[in-house]
Structure 1
Amino acid sequence: MADSRTDEAVEVIRAAQLAGVPHGFLGRRGGVSGGVVAGLNVGLGAGDDDLAVAENRRRALEAVLPDARLVTVYQVHSPDVAVVTEPWPGDERPRADAIVSDRPGVLLGIVTADCAPVLLTDAEAGVIGAAHAGWRGARGGVLEATVAAMERLGATRQRIGAAIGPAIAQASYEVDDSFRARFGEDDSPFFVPGRPGHWQFDLEGYAARRLEQAGVGGIDRLGLDTYAQEARFYSYRRATHRKEPTYGRQFSLIGLPR
């Protein structure tokens, strides 16, 4: 288990497809939380100390786009997209799993702990997006809905660059026959047979294909496994397997400078 390290810098992972636009995929390095969520936990529902979460969020924002206004949503594994014209009032957050904006000075944030975070930009149009793509959201169309919402703000899908950040990898993602039955035969490339009655699911590959089919111009797959890289990332499945009482969440952030 990683220890809390207040003297460790926040790790910011960047993608070539998003070059020139402030963004970052963050993990657990560089935060002040302790215990099983030691590190840069930014999850409001992790049972963490509120002051630690607030400090971690401040550090995350400072590492990606200082002086921006952070905007997040209440994630529910849906295909719904929120459009940001200005930060939500008070503590209000719409129930959605993606956010898009064309407003300078906002920083869009998605929290994950195995699901695939996807950041998107059409830098020429000045439009950005962030999506939380677990298997439900990805299968339900959250990525296509994000691209369509960006288009309504003036983006062109062929110009959109996307990056899929740290997520549970196929080698770590065992599912059973009932899970496999939720997907069609066209999805067979993303399932590898495992032990009897089980499969290994490629969430990152599945999300990449949905983006390709939506007409996105370029896609970076970072290939970072949240489950296997304990010192670097939080993982819901790892915490569940260990019967830990809670689990941390990491940020993926993208914004437009003023």
Structure 2
Amino acid sequence: MEKVQEAPESQEIFENEIDMYFKRFCKDENIEDMAAAPQSLFYAALIYVYNNTFKGTNRLKLKGKLQGYNNNNYNNQYSNINNSNCNSYNYEYLNYIADYYIYMCYKYNKICTISGYCKLTGINETVIYDWANEKRASKLSTSAYDLWEKLSKDYESSGEARLWSGKNPVGQLAVMNRRFGWNLPGVSRESSNKTALTAAEIRQQLSQNNTQLTDKQQINAVNNSDTI
């Protein structure tokens, strides 16, 4: 019996499927204007798309060997270990989906959050934030970092775009300040970037303060003795 080969994935296939199930959700839920719907309903639509496209599949995983990967413990190039793809995602596919997700967010006037992208793809949110550190680490490529950077930039840009819509600007500013250090009355970017002191640093500062206080007391005592 002849083996049926899987049809190759493409950007067009991903976009068409996402669009089809997104519209089906809106029809089933009687949503006439997703742009006027709350962000939570938009998230529900993304979850619906995920459940009907990617859930329970390996469509977003890399097929074949991960280029550049070599396990130092196995010098045999034909070893199954050296031919492994390390269960890596296919970042080309993830970028296709990210581009369409970003387009959808702007089209429907929604915040382009990383959380929303995770709901659409099923990728754990922690994994994507871990990609932010991959540029500094010794990695085979920066594909994961580049994808995180793209999503982060449009997260902020879409938030700025929403402010121009005039819908709850105070609440939106509060969210953007928490996420990106935007300025609010009494809250500057500089102060928001300050990190909390550790217990050791606090003890060191107290020790320095006590030393300075003791030195000052000794100086005052000498000065007072001159006046007696």
TM-score bin, normalised by smaller chain: under 0.3
* TM-score of the superposed pair, with normalisation by structure 2: 0.26
Higher relative contact order (CA 8 A, sep 6+): 1
The structure whose Rg is larger is 2
More strand by share: 1
* TM-score of the superposed pair, with normalisation by structure 1: 0.24
More helix by share: 2
